[in-house]
Each structure stands twice: as C-alpha cells, then as structure tokens.
Chain A
Amino acid sequence: MYIVKRFVTMLLTIWVIASLTFIIMKFIPGDPFASDADVLPEHVLDNMRAKYHLDEPIPVQYVLYLKSLVMFDLGPSIQSETRSVNSIIASGFPASATLGIQAIIVAVVFGLLLGIIAALYHNRLLDYISMVIAIIGISVPSFILAPLLINYFAVKWGMLPVASWGSFQHSILPSIALATTPLAVIARFMRSSMIEVMNQNYMKTADAKGLSSFKIVFNHGIRNAILPVVSFMGPLFVSLITGTFVIEKIFAIPGIGKYFVDSIFNRDYPVIMGTTVFFSVILVVTLFLIDISYRFIDPRIKLTSKGD
C-alpha cells in the first residue's frame, strides 16, 4: 500500500516539476531562433517555428509536450537537428553515470572511514588531521582541484591520461576530483553521528559484554550512526550520476553535464525540458529507494502510509 501511494506521489512530483520547468522556460525572453533572426528571412523563421509548434498558443504547446512526455519521447533537439533528446541522453548518460558511480564509491568509502576514525580518536591528533582534510575537501572547489590533479598525476608524473574518455585510467582523475567535496561532507556527517553513538548506553553494554573494540564499532556503532549519512546520499547520488558541468568540461568527458547548461543558452526548449525531467525522475526514484533502505537500516522505521 505504501509503495503504491509513493508511486502515485512520484508521478505527481514529476508532473509538477515538468510543468514548472515549462512555465519558467517560457518566461525566458527570446526563442531558439532569435540569433538567426538577422540572417534568415522572416518566412523561413516562421516555417521553423511551425515545425517545432512554437507558433501555437502556449497551452497547446504544453499539452503537446505532456503528450509526448507520456510516450517517453522527449522530442527533437533544436540545436542539433539530427539528434533527438532521447539520443542525447542515451549517448551522454553512460559516461556521466560511470563517473558519478565511481565518485560516489570513493566518497562513501573514504568519507565513512575518515569520519569513523575522527570519531574514535575524538579530540586527538587523528581527529584533527581527518577534519583538516575534510575542511580542505569542502573548501577547495573542483575547478581548482582538477587542474592540480592533472598537473601532477598526468603532466608531471605521467601516471594517468590528462583528459578524454575511454578506459578506466581516463576515469580515475575525474572521479577523484568529483568525489572530494562529497567525501569531506560525508566524513563530517559521519564523525558527528558516530560521536553521538559512541556515547550511547548500548555501546557501554557492548563493551561490558567483552567484545573487541573493532566489533563494538562495526557491529554496534556504524549501523546506528549511518542513517543521517544515508539521507544525505540520495540527492548527492543523483547530482553526481547526472553529470557535472565543470568536471566534464575540464576532462573533456562526453557526458550530459554540459547539456544542462548549453541548452539554456541556446533556448533549446526540448533539451531543457528533457534533461530536467530526466534529472527529476532519477532524483525521485532514488529518494524512494533511500526511504525504503531506511527500513532495513533501522527496524524502528516502519513503512506505512499513515503516521501511526
């Protein structure tokens, strides 16, 4: 029952996002052919507008748009005539997703590790070192870190390729650059959550049972401490796998990150709509999965449609 209800809510959410994007998009002055207006004769422009239904009244455009959306057809791109939005996403998403998933693995594994170490050595040297690393990770932007990584690992030491996409080697530097900030944020979350858990009575019970420190932390500590980190991971996961403009640009990765930005400059309406809806579908689905995962992490959380 809960799942059905959630599913309906998800569809509604996506519809609201799609509609809002449509409305906001129409508020942007100009249209896809504004820059061609000086060069092309008026009747050519009219023809082109007609082709993309831009001559229809806005409500009609909206209905047409929703219709094709229901058919999973995101329409043709106006900018690159030969490609549909579907094919743009299909060709760009794998690279972005691979990069994003690698980055999130790095961020989660090392973030949790750093956070746990900091908590276990609370107010001691290792804690301070971990937190300095975390603060640096949060405050150094990726467009500074990425060139630094390229300069040392690719240019000076020649260990890894400078840029481009293809093999696993190509993905290492961008994954690291992309992972740094979320890694640092996860470390800080995990640290404070773990410190709180370490002071709980059940940790004392575990200690009084004669368990090793390792078992106390792993069997009793982490599962209780991880919940706040998990709730943060949903949006993070989505924003990483749907491509990032800066990192993909610096490393010349053929992902979908740049389409989010380029499509807006070009007034490429179908691509704006397509990428936004694609993003929101992935976001809504991920949040749903995260909600379900809570149930498995913390048995006290029950998935019910009512608040009982």
Chain B
Amino acid sequence: MRFRDHRIAGAILELVERYRAEGADEIVFYDIAASPGGRTVERLWVHCVAQTLDIPFCVAGGIRSLADAEEVLYAGAEKISINSPALENPMLIDVLARRFGSQCIVVGIDSQRTPAGHQAWQFSGDPKRARSSGRSVSEWVREVQNRGAGEIVLNCMGNDGVRAGYDIEHLRHIRSLCRVPLIASGGAGTLTHFRDVFIHAEVDGALAASVFHSGELSIPDLKDYLQSSGIPVRPSVPEAA
C-alpha cells in the first residue's frame, strides 16, 4: 500500500517464520511511524525476531543515536537502516559507521519525483509530516557513501504500493553513482518486475512487502522464475549447484 494507507500485515512473527522457511534472503522490519512519532522500534520485538531468524535481519525505524543503534544491534539485528534521522543529522552516518563498521549501516532513501528532480523525502511514515528534505537524491546518495553507508535502499515513493513495477530509469541512474550494494524498493507487483530490475537496473537486491504479505507472489515461485531467467539466486531449498 502507499505510505498513506498503512495496513497491519498480520502476526509479524508468523510472517517472519513463513518467509524464512520460504527462502527469503533477508528480512527488513520497518517501523515507519517511528521517526515521525519520535520513538524507536520496540527492542523486545527485535529480540524475539532475532531468536527466530538465521538469515540477515535489518531493523529500521527512528534510530537516532549511537545508543539507539547499539540497543537494536545488541538485541540481535544484523543491520540497522536509517532514513529521516540521517537527513536531520548526516553526521550520524559517520558516527555509526565508525563504531559498527559500514557493513551494518544501511541508509534508506525515500525518493520522490518532483519538478526539481528526484528529492529525498523525510518522515514519509506520517502523511501530515512527510516533506522534502530539500536534498536531491543523487547528491544524497553520493554523500551517504562518503560518510560510510554500507548499503542503500532506494524506495521510489511514486511506485510504492502501486505494483506497477520498480522505477528502472531512476534506479539505473542511482546505480551509476552507487559503489555500495543498492537495493530496489517500491513498485513490485509481478515476477517480471523483479527480473527487469535485476537485469536493467543491475541492483544487488529487490525488496518488496505487500505482494508477499498478501500472498499474491510466493518467494519460491519468484526464485524459480529468476533462476530460469538467468539471474543467479539462492534456491529456496538449499541444494547443490
């Protein structure tokens, strides 16, 4: 769903178990209302998920300080993803990367197409507070890498939740600026959308939520399809190559 229509996606831990069993390669937990609401993700929740999962697990939502990050990582998350707090205080990226290493610092960027080009959006989780940070996405992508981000998740807001496909053109442009892993987000609706974003935008990963939550696409089907399209993926059920 678009950010303006948040849906509760069922019992989260059950979903986590299901995705793990189906062969998800990484699970990202977004508490997207955390930053606008001035709170941090629930630690206990992170801890419970960490008990269940033996695949990478990233937590996003209102991580504003070294202490916030420490709590989430020590509760068992593999990576933390920061978005609005990084736009408010870019030095946070440097501080976190120095302390924990770039590999666990993901910067999420909500990219909105505007007459002035693509701009990085802030507080996207709250329709009343969502606004442009005034930064161009291209500039911000360069800056966060220089500050030590180890991965970028680019969420194309116009495409998010509408299932009309990833914004290939924009992602391809950002790919050309991005020397760290780039994950596409926003727009996945069909199997071909995933194939196209890997082939044409050369992203390192594709993130999707609603198509999996709703059961419209299954991870094993998606992986079989990608494999048969010549895109190397980790099989849903481990097997020798």
Is this pair of chains taken from one and the same complex? Answer: no
Task: List the interface of chain B (C-beta within 8 A of A).
Answer: none
Task: List the interface of chain A (C-beta within 8 A of B).
Answer: none
